[in-house]
Chains A and B, each alone.
Chain A
Amino acid sequence: MNRLDYVVLVATILAIPLYGLWRTRGRETLGHYIKGDESIRWATIGLSVLATQAGPITFLSMPGQAYESGIGFVQNYFGQPFALITVCAVFVPIFQRLKVYTAYEYLGQRFDQKTRLLGAFLFLIQRGLAAGITIYAPAIILSALLGWRLNLTIWLAGGLVVAYTAFGGTKIVSITQRYQILIIFVGMALAFIIAVHRLPAGLSFGRALTVAGGMGKLQAVDFSLDPDRRYTFWSGIFGGFFLALSYFGADQSQVQRYLAGGSLTASRFGLLFNAVVKVPMQFLILLLGAMVFLFYQFEKPPIYFNRPAYDRAIALGHGAELNELQAEFDDVFARKRDLLSSSGVNSASRQEILQLDAKARELRDRAKAVLERAGASPKSKDSDYVFITFVLQHLPHGVVGLLIAVILCATMSATAATLNALGSTSAVDFYRPLIRPNAPDHHYVVATELLTIAWGLVAIGVASYASLVENLIETGNILGSIFYGSILGLFLVAFFLRSVRGSAVFFAALLAQCLVLILFWTLSISYLWYNLIGCAAVLVFSLALQRTIFAKSSPA
């Protein structure tokens, strides 16, 4: 990075929050602080919902995911449109009609105070920890590759977002997210155009797609019913639906986004916007990864993209072993490149190209094994370093600064939404009913600001100790899957099981959460299943408890 990159980076990440602060100046009521005002339109809500979900991992990991495994990962999002429409039809009208500040407030109205506190508590634990991971994941990658100090990077990403989120509440989060996601779109579009432009002369975009497809990277849809296949249309529709319904329906960081402004129409249009835009957006990000893959078929890639970890292993005495693998990898690369340049992927050359590609992957795996033996094993997958390495080494100055800004904008937008929700939930669901029930409105605004700052410090604290976590990116998803199921179960019981009352659902959720935790520690199934198990357990246990132990409290 040179001076131009730093100017672009600093200007981008500072200008948006400063503009947001200017737009939200002045004293606010609690309602405005938590839900924004009527100036928040559907487009802002739509972009805000999009930005909240599209955290830094999306832009760092997704292209790397396509580089490794192709674009089939897009199918994981196929359930989302159905989930968003379900949220539009079922969740939003109820939340808007009751004019709740948080989703858990609704649980209090439908059931009782303890169920509301349980839902809010599960959310706070899960999101409080996940916020730290959201800050740490890009910080560890950027600090490794740019040579920045890790704590400085964590404070750069975390400190700024804590300050403006606490000051401006939901309105500033929505405004800044709108511009942050626009910067992200521009940055990713530029990266896409440059990646295509940097392909060898004579390789048109159409032919590039044919080559990438021939190498197995462009299978976007797979209707296979084989349960061993990782990403299929069916697993995306069913598994993705359930995960997305938990996230959009029961996670306050999303609920607060689409309730902003207080208009049912704006909330629904914002969510429907996501229903039609989200999947193509993920497709294009993955396609960018496929283009980066193609670029590295003609430009020699490193055997291991996480260069600092590779250099550590060399310093620890594993240089000879790694040099040997590197030489073999270079030879495989040269043979593959010559084949692709001379004949492309046709029926005669395809088998040999695929074999060489498999050999290159095997060599990368062996290099990783050497790093692990050397004790230089990194905290995230090597594929997470693919896109950022491409950016740093092959994009022009200025654009590099913009792409680093994209990563930090994504970090700030996702973190801001989370802190905003954590502060609001702590204030509305805990502080106001339990500690100061009848204080003036301004008192709660200040309390929410202070609680937002406190959660920001917790997130930065978690980020500072996140190096203890083995696999960063998985950790965020695992945390969500452990807690989302029970929280969604609470809401589904509230909406659809009219006979169930507060005590039954409260103890059902506690039992379900214990069950999920026990299964998590004892089984080795995919973590996505815990969403389903937790939710189903709440539904079944609550019905069983209502008809047995709590039968006397059933409605007449």
Chain B
Amino acid sequence: MKGTDLQSEANGDSAPLFGSWAKDYCVALGIFAFEIVLFYAFTVLFS
């Protein structure tokens, strides 16, 4: 493959929820971080 641009889009159908895909990824990671906090709280509370 020539000139692979990792940021480019495939067919122009992109419509990220929060303005850009980078923000969408951050939101997903934020939710995951929140999940970890909940699991940790669960561990502390019940172990």
Residues of A that sit less than 8 Å from B by CB: 74, 78, 81-82, 85, 88-90, 92-99, 106, 109-110, 209-210, 212-214, 216, 218-222, 233, 262-265, 268, 272, 275-276, 279-280, 283, 494-495, 498
Contact = CB atoms under 8 A, between A and B. Distances in A.
Given A74-B39, A221-B40, A280-B35, A263 B11 contact: yes
22 contacts: A81-B29, A85-B29, A89-B25, A93-B6, A93-B8, A96-B10, A96-B11, A97-B9, A109-B1, A213-B46, A213-B47, A218-B42, A220-B40, A222-B43, A262-B11, A264-B9, A265-B15, A265-B16, A272-B24, A272-B28, A275-B32, A276-B31
B41 to A, nearest CB: 9
A99 B1 CA distance: 13
B11 A221 contact: no
Contact of B39 (A93, A94, A214, A221): A221
A391 B40 CA distance: 30
Nearest to B5: A93
B39 A283 contact: yes
A209 B41 CA distance: 13
B39 A220 contact: yes
Contacts, number: 96
Given A81-B32, A276-B28, A494-B1, A90 B6 contact: yes
A98 B8 CA distance: 12
A99 B11 CA distance: 9
Residue of B14, B43, B46 most packed against chain A (CB within 10 A):
B46
A482 to B, nearest CB: 28
Residue of B15, B35, B40 most packed against chain A (CB within 10 A):
B35
Nearest to B15: A265
Contacts of A495: 4, 6
A110 B40 contact: no
A93 B9 contact: yes
A209 B47 CA distance: 9
A300 to B, nearest CB: 25
Given A93-B10, A94-B4, A279 B43 contact: no
Given A97-B8, A219-B43, A264 B13 contact: yes
A95 B8 CA distance: 11
Given A85-B29, A98-B1, 6 more contacts: A93-B10, A94-B6, A213-B46, A220-B40, A221-B36, A280-B35
Nearest to A220: B39
A204 to B, nearest CB: 13
A279 B40 CA distance: 13
Contact of A97 (B10, B32, B36, B40): B10
Nearest to A81: B32
Residue of B6, B21, B28 most packed against chain A (CB within 10 A):
B28
A221 B44 CA distance: 9
A283 B39 CA distance: 9
A209 B46 contact: yes
A112 to B, nearest CB: 11
Contacts of A99: 10
A93 B46 contact: no
Contacts of A110: 1, 4
A90 B21 CA distance: 12
A88 B21 contact: yes
A106 B15 CA distance: 25
B11 to A, nearest CB: 6
